[in-house]
Amino acid sequence: MRFAIETLGTRGDVQPYIALARGLMVRGHEVQLAAPVQFTDMAAAHKVPFVGLPGEFLALLDTPEGKAAVAGGDGFHAGFKLLKHVRPLMTSLLDEEWRAVRSFQPNVLVYHPKSFGSPDMAAVLGVPHVLASPVPGFTPTGEFPSPMLPFASLGPFNRMSHTFAIKGARLLFAKELKAWRAMTLRLPGKTAPKPAAGTLYAYSPAVLPKPGDWASEVLVTGYWFLDSPDWQTDEALECFLGAGPAPVYFGFGSMPGIDPEAMTGMILEALEMTGKRGLLMGGGGGAIGKVDASARAFFLSGAPHDRLLPRASAAIHHGGAGTTAASLRAGLPTQIIPFFGDQPFWGRRVAALGAGPLPLDRRTLSAAGLANALAAMDSAAMRGRAADVGTAIGRDHGVEAATNFLERLSLRSG
């Protein structure tokens, strides 16, 4: 069978789909992954056939406007602030996605929610489409509100709150989508695409159990991990790790840092206050500045989470779905400092599991607050809960479950 996989966003929106692609390829299926061009090398390293999509959307995060939007926005507010920059790019992105999918002629189209034109492309090709998301925000449930909203619960309005996430992108870009459907796909203006043939959620049921009001065609698979078994620590890092107690991991991924010097200073001060050691991960956004290696702290520009986090004692990060998955898988007490989007949701979830403290507000963050978090994560009860969650995640087989689901679907539709 031939599976086209469409995804957009930062590394956390791409890396799991490379893992899924690899899982399908191991089973003998043909796969084409389309994602921002910035991930060409990552796909090549895992030998996944790849089409690079325009990277301007991802690059927006590194512009002054992008950094300012993230610094001042919670939930979906940051995205709203960037809409005027995104709209002019939308048609060219849709065109490139369609060119990739049409040339590949898949039997099934699997897509990230940000690839909101995928259902229309599947309709023209006459193939089923499957929504695949690392975030549980695209199937209504009464058990929790949309992860894109800053509320732990909306009570009777939980189910209704998911409507925006499900329909939001198609409504926000309705004008562009209507014109593209008519001009490029030759679809009538008022026809709605068919519902997805299934939905895959790439997170662990040990972190968030499948809601009782979700249908059987919605599957919580477990995380889709992309491991790096061949990666090795260099001599300097190995010396640091071996020179004292296991350090605390600090990392904010590709989140743009408005004042990386201030963030780095707070981290170093908190480490001094608690007598702990730290691994400071730079990442693409520059939220953490480079520091000289010492007995107290070590800076890395990058390293695979599956190899690095098992060497840590705890983790403090932004709460991206992928980084949260990695720290919980390693059994680490986890403190989340969310920036935007679904990150507050994962912060609340980690705290509800007892695997970490309540999320910290980045805007009022202080060295004392970080020191308090470091002390809280020394709790034996919290360490025990984090270890239990890590063990449960280790029993999942997320890529295999997703692959089995897609194979069954392709057999039914074939």
pLDDT tens across 162-217, in order?
987 788 778 888 888 999 999 999 998 777 788 999 999 999 999 999 999 999 99
> What topology is assigned to 235-394 in CATH?
Rossmann fold (3.40.50)
Write out pLDDT tens, residues 91-100. Answer: 899 999 999 9
In this structure, of 80-84, 225-229, 338-342, the range with the lowest mean pLDDT score is 80-84
Instruction: Name which residue leads in pLDDT, 91 or 257.
Output: 91
Closest CA to 389 of 245, 152, 209, 202: 209
Element housing 350 (H / E): helix 343-353
Residue 63: pLDDT band (50, 70, 90) is low
pLDDT in tens, 269-278: 999 999 999 9
Task: Report H helices in 27-172.
Answer: 40-45, 56-59, 64-72, 77-81, 83-104, 118-125, 158-172
Q: What is the pLDDT of residue 65?
A: 60
Q: Do domains 2-223+396-413 and 235-394 have the same CATH topology?
A: yes
Planar angle of CA 84, 85, 86, nearest 5 degrees: 95
75 confidence band (pLDDT: 50, 70, 90): very low
pLDDT tens for each residue of 380-405: 999 999 999 999 999 999 999 999 99
Reported pTM: 0.93
pLDDT at 269: 97
Kindly tell me if the per-residue pLDDT of 225 is higher than 90: yes
Can you name the CATH fold of 2-223+396-413?
Rossmann fold (3.40.50)
Q: What is the mean pLDDT of residues 285-307?
A: 89
pLDDT tops 80 at residue 284: no
Question: End-to-end CA distance of the chain, in Å?
Answer: 9
- What's the confidence (pLDDT) of residue 294? 92
pLDDT at 90: 83
Could you read off the pLDDT of 338-369 as tens digits, one per residue? Answer: 988 899 999 999 999 999 999 999 989 999 99
pLDDT at position 81: 60
* Sheet containing strand 50-53, strands side by side: 50-53, 30-36, 2-6, 108-111, 129-133, 198-201, 218-220
Domain ranges of the chain: 2-223+396-413, 235-394
Evaluate whether 29 touches 2 at the Cβ level (below 8 Å).
Answer: yes
Q: How far is CA 80 from CA 12, 73, 117, 413, in A?
A: 21, 9, 19, 38
Neighbours of 153 (CB within 10 A): 12
- Nearest by Cα to 216 from 193, 231, 198: 198
pLDDT band for position 242 (cuts 50, 70, 90): very high
